Amino acid sequence: MVVKLSIGTPVVTMHPASKAPWENGASIEDLARIAQTADQLGYDHLACAEHIAVPIANTAVRGSRYWDPLATFGYLAAITQQIRFATGVLVLPYHHPLDIAKRYGTLDLISHGRVILGVGVGTLKEEFDLIGAPYDQRGPRSDDALRALRAALSRPEPAYHGEFYDFEGFVVDPCTVQDHVPLWVGGRTLRSLRRGATLADGWCPFTVSPAQAAEWLRTVEIPAGFDVVLPPTARLDPINEPGRTQEILAETEAYGATIVVCAFRNRTLDEYLETLEALVAVQTAMSTS
C-alpha cells in the first residue's frame, strides 16, 4: 500500500514555521487554484484549523491567521468534486455537539459527503476564557462530546444522555449524508492517540514527529481501518529530488502513516502547484514499482 496524500492548506493558516512569503498577499482566487489542482490530482483532503482569537503574545508561535473552516470549506465545496475537507481541528469544548452536527451536517450535504471532523480538546486557555468556554475538565468533556457526536451525526432526531451533554426530542435537519462521518482526534500527546483509538476513526497529531508517533502507536491497540495522519519524516522536494521523496514517503508509511500531510516551501504559487503535481507523479511511480 502507498500512503495517501493530503495538504496542509496554505493561505488559510499562516503558521510562522511553515508559511511562505507569497502567502501574505494570496487571494481567494489563489486558494481556489490550490483546491482545484489538488482535487484534480487526487489528493485525499484539505485541512483547515480553528482558532477564534489568538492572543497577540502567542502569535509568534501559533501565528495569527486562521480562516474559519466552515466558511472556507463551504466555498471550496462548490468548486471541487472529490477532495475531502478535514477540520484540523475543531476545539470540542467551544461547541455544543448539536451545533457541530447541524453546521457540519449542512456542509456534508452540500459537499456530497466529503466532511472529516478533526477534533481536539484545546490548549489555549486565554481563548477559552475569552469566549467563556470551560477549561477545566476539558478532557472528560471532550470524550463525552465525541460520544455525543457519534450518536448525533447522520440522525435527524438524535438522542444522547451523557455526563456533560444530554439531548432528546429535537430535530436536527439537515444532518450528514454520510452514514459514518470520519472522526479524527488531534493533539500532541499519547492521550490524544488513546482517545482517538477508543472513540474515533483516526489520529491527526500536530508537533509530533513520525518517529514519536510510531513509538506511541506500538503501545495502543489500533482498530482496523484507523487513519493515522502524519507529516513526512523530512522536507519533500519532488521536483528536484524525486528519488529521495519516494524514500521519505516510504519511511513515513513505515512509521504508521496512512495519510501524509504535505507542506512545501515554495517561492511562488505556481511553484507550489507544480510541486503538488510532481508529488503525485512520485506517488504514482511508487504504486507501480
Structural domain span for residue 119: 28-181
> Does residue 127 lie in a domain region?
yes
> Does residue 201 lie in a domain region?
no
d(CA 102, CA 155): 10
pLDDT for 120 equals 97
pLDDT for 289 equals 73
- Alpha-carbon 105 to chain mean position: 17
3-state secondary structure of 38: helix
Give the angle 63-69-74 at the CA atoms, nearest 5°: 145
How many domains does the chain fold into? 1
d(CA 196, CA 187): 10
- Residue written as grid cell 457540519: 104
Contact predicate 85/7, CB 8 Å? no
d(CA 35, CA 45): 9
Q: How far is CA 50 from CA 90, 95, 124, 235, in A?
A: 6, 12, 12, 25
Contact predicate 281/238, CB 8 Å? yes
> Does residue 141 lie in a domain region?
yes
Residue-by-residue pLDDT tens, the chain, 289 positions: 689 999 988 999 888 877 889 999 999 999 999 999 999 999 999 999 999 999 999 998 888 899 999 999 999 999 999 999 999 999 999 999 999 999 999 999 999 999 999 999 999 999 999 999 999 999 999 999 999 999 999 999 999 999 999 999 999 999 999 999 999 999 999 999 999 999 999 999 999 999 999 999 999 999 999 999 999 999 999 999 999 999 999 999 999 999 999 988 789 999 999 999 999 999 999 988 7
> Does residue 177 lie in a domain region?
yes
Contact predicate 202/186, CB 8 Å? no
Q: Which amino acid is at 1?
A: M
Q: Which amino acid is at 158?
A: P
> Does residue 70 lie in a domain region?
yes
Positive or negative CA dihedral for 213, 218, 220, 225? positive
d(CA 111, CA 176): 10
CATH code (residue 107): 3.20.20.30
pLDDT for 107 equals 98
> Does residue 137 lie in a domain region?
yes
> Does residue 123 lie in a domain region?
yes
Positive or negative CA dihedral for 202, 225, 150, 165? negative
Q: How far is CA 55 from CA 15, 124, 286, in A?
A: 14, 9, 44
The H or E element containing residue 259 is strand 259-262
> Does residue 109 lie in a domain region?
yes
Give the angle 65-69-71 at the CA atoms, nearest 5°: 105
d(CA 161, CA 151): 10
